Chain A
Amino acid sequence: MSEMITHVEEHRDDEASKLGMWLFIFTELLLFGGLFLVYSIFRAEYPLAFHESSLELSVTIGAINTIVLLFSSMTIAMALTAIQKNDQKRALIFIGITLFCAAIFLVNKYFEWGHKFEMKLYPGSPLMPLLGRGYLLYFSLYFFMTGLHALHIIIGMTLLVVCYFKVKSKNINSKDYVLLENGALYWHLVDLIWIFLFPLMYLIS
């Protein structure tokens, strides 16, 4: 009986934190959803310009980035599995791999964007007014949507770096891992958005 009295109940509600994270994810989905809607409307209005513009994107780089992101999504899910199994070392390795993949994604994006800038295919370039409205809309949406997505990658990386050190200091452990769970959810969201972004921007022409 005395054991029960001395036991200090920690004030924690993992179920609620997870629900909160999901509510935030809903707002993110609708944010990108709105952009997808804008994209579809203008694509229906300027089919030819959107077709021609999408040919400028490199499917190879896009495909590599897709696979890198899918792979990183799996490794962060594995990090959660590892922490649930009380395997701190593996969890750290998996988070590390995820961060490495995120960095590869951003480097690819850097080269991709750099190439577009070299070819003067950006809103406000001297070439843009000559190409017409459809092209301007496509590249505005391209830079805005992939840019916003890249921003999410950076935020996700920050969150995962925090998780990495918390796992290392055992603040995240097999009994209390809701932060890693939410961080992983955010990372999957980034992957989920890219799953739709890739075919719409790179493939459909």
Chain B
Amino acid sequence: MANNTTHTTEYRVLAKILLVLMFLTFLTISITSFHLGAFTVTVALLIAGVKGFLVLSYFMHLKYESLLLRILVGMVFVLFIVIVLITFIDYAYR
């Protein structure tokens, strides 16, 4: 018995997501060419975060997966952010 929790993402939806991703790519390139200092890094990473979120939810179908899996994926990113923060605090007060 097939036990796929099937959700079929339509071609149209995927194509739309690609368009948004491409727009965000061009946005990143044009914003970073202005040299706005520390602000640039934040904006570039923020846009990358949005792009990553779109890939995870639509291309990787996380939007239609079980709550357990979604929480697990979220925890990995939380874990990573915690590691980054602790390391930077360590470096800053050394």
Contacts and interface: CB of A to CB of B under 8 A. Distances in A.
Interface of A: 9-10, 12-15, 18-19, 22, 26, 29-30, 33, 37, 40-41, 44, 59, 63, 66-67, 70-71, 73-74, 77-78, 80-81, 84-85, 175-178, 184-185, 188, 191-192, 195-196, 198-200, 203-205
Which residue, A10, A40, A77, A203, has most C-beta atoms of chain B within 10 A?
Answer: A77
B44 A195 contact: no
B84 A37 contact: yes
Given A15-B3, A71-B18, A203-B32, 19 more contacts: A14-B3, A15-B66, A29-B77, A29-B80, A30-B76, A37-B83, A37-B87, A73-B18, A73-B55, A74-B14, A74-B15, A77-B58, A81-B11, A81-B14, A195-B51, A196-B48, A199-B32, A199-B47, A200-B44
Contacts of A13: 3
Contacts of A10: 1
A192 B55 contact: yes
Interface residues of B, number: 47
Given A22-B72, A26-B72, A192 B52 contact: yes
Contacts of A33: 80, 83
Given A44-B91, A81-B10, A196 B80 contact: no
Is chain A's binding surface mostly helix, strand, loop or mixed?
helix
B80 to A, nearest CB: 5
A67 B72 contact: no
Given A70-B22, A81-B10, A203-B28, A175 B2 contact: yes
B52 to A, nearest CB: 5
B84 A40 contact: yes
Contacts of B87: 37, 41
A191 to B, nearest CB: 6
Contacts of B48: 195-196, 198-199
B9 A81 contact: yes
14 contacts: A10-B1, A13-B3, A15-B5, A22-B69, A26-B72, A29-B76, A73-B18, A77-B9, A185-B60, A188-B55, A192-B56, A196-B45, A196-B52, A199-B45
Contacts of B1: 9-10
